[in-house]
Amino acid sequence: MEERFRQRRDTIRRRKDFPADFSLSPGEEEFFRRLGSEEKASLRSLKLAITPHYFSLIGNEEDDPIRLQAIPRVEEFDTLPYEKEDPLEDLRYSPVERLVHRYRDRVLILLTGECLTYCRHCFRRHFSSHGSGAIQGGQLEAVLDYIRGREDIHEVILSGGDPLSLEDERFFGILRRIQEAVPRPLIIRIATRAPVVMPQRMAPPFLDGLADFPRVFLITQFNHPRELSRESGAVLDACADRGIPVYNQAVLLKGVNDSVETLSQLFQRLLEFRVKPYYLFQGDLASGTSHFRVPLDRGMELYRQLRQRISGLAMPTYAVDLPGGGGKVPLVESYLDTLVEGEGGEAQRAYRFTGPDGLNYYYPAE
């Protein structure tokens, strides 16, 4: 049997699928106990799936960074007053089912609610939790009609769920249908965690098929340097060799990667595989994810230290997707103080900066 089919078949989906010699921590046990006893809770809760590959990366410690992202804990039942089912208000920006149109020139299609492995920090759990399967033919046609009629739209982001939880035939069929239905050149972004959780899904026959499509970008989510396994590295190299650009969107997660050492290793190693760190996201305010949240000022401090430490090429943009649907904004520390007069040497008016060394520098305003 091909390894990718074995990965699907042997994915852990229930409490009883964990290997007999693997013991759950008390907090994890408590999650499954509550899930079993609260019918309503199980309806709201994000499903469980852990591929054998991702499971094999879990270390021995209870607070292992891979384990935290994959095995649910009782804290998922805690909901803070400001946490929401749909924190980015995808629904408000959804003119057609399965489509999110928040920015003028690009749209996001929710191809499926299914994932190869569910991230316990998922912010779109409202969608993935409600048994949303693959997009249906009629839904896809409605989405494509919408895109075709709006010349401003230049880019389509295939997301979900994980689009690569669809089988090749279905997935490539959708790509071909998009090409056919919208004749102008669209940028296609594929947002998938397959390179992290199931690199076997992206064996060469798939990548060769993907490389046949023009203007395709892969966006993935490595959150910890240990996720860069030998198999994942091979997939990333294979993408670069085929001219498929790969970008990484990491999420800042407490206990997983909230240290300068971990983040700098992650971003440097990604660069070695020719993956450009694109975003580092502040955690979204999704229900049941408070145990992952890093305070924003702590994130700013980490980012400032990171800038002193690693190559500009390895630096992602630290950003927050504003609660309530405001969209993504960069979290930038300002080095620019203010406009000053008679302070900046030859120039009458100049902008004053405070450099990383704490000294003042000037740039003429004229």
Ligand X SMILES: *Cc1c(COP(=O)(O)O)cnc(C)c1O
Task: Provide the binding-site residues for ligand X, judged by CB under 6 A.
Answer: 100, 102-103, 106, 108, 157, 328
Q: How far is the CB of 55 from ligand X (least distance, A)?
A: 29
Sheet containing strand 349-354, edge to edge, reads: 336-341, 349-354, 360-364
- In degrees and rounded to multiples of 5, residue 195 shows phi and psi of -60, -25
Q: Are the beta carbons of 142 and 92 closer than 8 angstroms?
A: no
Q: Which residues are catalytic?
A: 102-103, 106, 115, 119, 122, 124, 284, 321, 328
Least distance (Å) between residue 199 CB and ligand X: 23
d(CA 275, CA 228): 11
For ligand X, the closer of residues 106 and 352 by Cβ is 106
Smaller CB distance to ligand X: residue 206 or 303? 303
Residues 11, 134: Cα–Cα separation, whole Å: 19
Q: Contact 72/48 with Cβ under 8 angstroms? A: yes
Smallest separation, CB 281 to ligand X (Å):
9
Pairing state between β 317-322 and 327-330:
antiparallel
Report CA torsion sign: 22, 27, 33, 36.
negative
> At closest approach, how far in Å is the CB of 292 from ligand X?
19
Residue nearer to ligand X on the CB measure, 12 or 100: 100
* Torsion angle (degrees, nearest 10) of CA 73, 79, 84, 86: 20
Nearer to ligand X, 122 or 157 (CB): 157
Give the separation between CA 110 and CA 161, rounded to whole angstroms: 7
Distance in Å, CB of 193 to ligand X, minimum: 15
Helices (H), the chain: 3-9, 26-37, 39-44, 52-56, 65-70, 125-129, 137-148, 168-181, 194-197, 204-211, 230-241, 260-272, 296-309
Q: What's 165-198 look like in SS3?
A: HCCHHHHHHHHHHHHHHCCCCCEEEEECCHHHHC
Residue closer to ligand X by CB (options 200, 248) is 248
In the complex, minimum distance from the CB of residue 112 to ligand X, in angstroms, rounded to a whole number:
16
C-alpha of 362 from chain center: 38
Q: Which is nearer to ligand X, 155 or 237 (CB)?
A: 155
Q: Which residues touch 156 (CB under 8 Å, ≥6 apart)? A: 106, 107, 108, 109, 147, 178, 186, 187, 188, 189
Among residues 133 and 326, whose Cβ is nearest to ligand X?
A: 326
- Nearest distance from C-beta of residue 239 to ligand X, angstroms: 19
